[in-house]
Structure 1
Amino acid sequence: MSHQSLLDVDDLTVSIDRATVLEDVSIRVEAGETVALIGRNGAGKTTTFRSVMGQTSIRNGSIRVNGTDLTDRPSRERIRHGVGFAPEDRRLFTTLSVEDNLRMSTWGKADTDEDGFRERRDRVLEIYPEMEAFLDRPAGQLSGGQQKMVTVGRALTSDPDIVLLDEPFEGLAPSVREQFRDGVTRIKDLGISIVVAESNVRHAAEIADRAYVIERGEIVTEIGRDEPITENEEIERIFEGG
């Protein structure tokens, strides 16, 4: 019997407009670890995440969380089974307050009352204390870095076991990036598993325990805990050799 991880993605194949954009992508994530999915823009990182969340139809493969097959389940079922998603494009409700954006991930969940929401919100504020200052502001009035914090916070208020962060550091100023990285560290300290999609190798290396490298929709190598990510041959070929 094969080992059961927190997240098991096996032989994921996705076609869009008859073009294969992912082919036989397999990823595993254990409880409490941070895994990077590294690739250049257009390599298939976002499609992988959207597939895991049930937002993209897959042609072949399976997705399991804690041993439960979620391959054919809708997105809300992935969330109920402990998967949070912070997309690169944020998808915030710009006219709603930050607090109501956080609340969105708990609406319709029978196990979360107002007290339960506040407890989860307060945990998010422990991760990103800067957010407390703009909880009442409409999300559309925030800076890009602040909106990214809210996007991650919304994923966390669903009380996930694992959270998918799509290009979390993209476009951030160095000072904001440092704040954001500190928040990711605090997420790790809570025991929440993280999968981070990154096109910047150095950013990935700063937070990940290990990594998968994706190119043209295929996993070309897996980098273990005992190998520096920045020194991997495939990383050097793709990002330095072109």
Structure 2
Amino acid sequence: MTKLLEVSALTVGYGEAVALDAISFDVARGEFITFIGPNGAGKTTLLNSLMGVLRQKSGTVSFKGEDLGTLKPETRVARGIVIVPERRELFPQLSVEDHLRLGAFLRRREGRAILDAGLERIYALLPKLKERRRQLAGTLSGGEQQMVAVGRALMAEPQLLMLDEPSTGLAPRITEEIFEAIARLKADGMTAIIVEQNAHLAFSVADRGFVLEVGNVVASGAADELRQDPRVLAAYLGAGDRYRDA
């Protein structure tokens, strides 16, 4: 499979503190990978670094063979990398449809007909958004706001979609709807990185997984294999004590 993203010895820090310590991994086209781990492990830091929000201390990040170096976040979006942030970052006074169209801002020259077709694809994936398309984002439930954030990201037609804790704060029924949509995106050939504390959910859609603790990858492998790893079971799948290195 063709590698879409290659990360080598990525180190990110805040002042003297190291948040990510020489992380290396790659993502093939059409592959879903997940990073799981406790709060403070560096999961969101990783996504923000890949997005260009945080600068790396060392290491390289290459996308489609291009070293992203110091490219700004908006340039990375134009290259095809899009994030759905944990806090969703919606505008309360904008409608659902306005948010979706905002996601396609860099595609505005493609014409209204093409963007309207993109909207219909989002509405087919997340039907509740069509019902709420005129509603202001500030009046939506948490689950509906998450759907808007996902739809807005998809309107950019990303080649790499990054989802930061998509299940946070959502009711189980809404979480199931979100992950059903994510599974459909995978079936359609999307490439994604999912950061998630709920390992059950993460492994349900991922091809490969990485366990991140205190800025270090302490376990990795095929999602099905990690599900059976007794140390991962103990820490993240409800089978006992916290993950410890063997």
Instruction: Please say whether Structure 1 and Structure 2 have the same fold, judged by a TM-score greater than 0.5.
Output: yes
Using a 3 Å threshold, how does the CA distance of structure 1 residues 61 and 135 change in structure 2: closer, same or farther? same
1:102 to 2:124 alignment: no
1:235 to 2:199 alignment: no
Distance 2:64 2:229 in 1: 30
Distance 2:188 2:80 in 1: 14
Using a 3 Å threshold, how does the CA distance of structure 1 residues 18 and 113 change in structure 2: closer, same or farther? farther
1:161 to 2:159 alignment: yes
Give the superposition deviation at 1:17: 3.0
> Bigger shift: 12-21 or 46-55?
12-21
Residue type at the aligned position of 2:76: R
Equivalence for 1:69? 67
Distance 1:43 1:111 in 2: 40
Equivalence for 1:114? 112
Identity %: 35
Structure-to-structure mapping, 1:28-177, within 5 angstroms: 28-109=26-107, 111-177=109-175
Distance 2:128 2:174 in 1: 11
Residues 106 and 156 in structure 2, CA contact (< 8 A), matched pair in contact too: no
Identify which of 184, 202, 205 aligns with 2:203.
205
Give the superposition deviation at 1:214: 0.5
Residue type at the aligned position of 2:220: E
- Show CA shifts across 1:40-98 (max 9, x none): 11111100000000011110111111112112111112111111210111001111111
Distance 2:80 2:231 in 1: 32
- Show CA shifts across 1:140-163 (max 9, x none): 110000000111111100001120
Distance 1:87 1:238 in 2: 25
- Show CA shifts across 1:167-200 (max 9, x none): 1112211211121111111111221111110111
Q: Give unpaired runs (5+ residues) of structure 1.
A: none
Residues 107 and 156 in structure 2, CA contact (< 8 A), matched pair in contact too: no
Q: Give unpaired runs (5+ residues) of structure 2.
A: none
TM-score when normalising by structure 2: 0.91
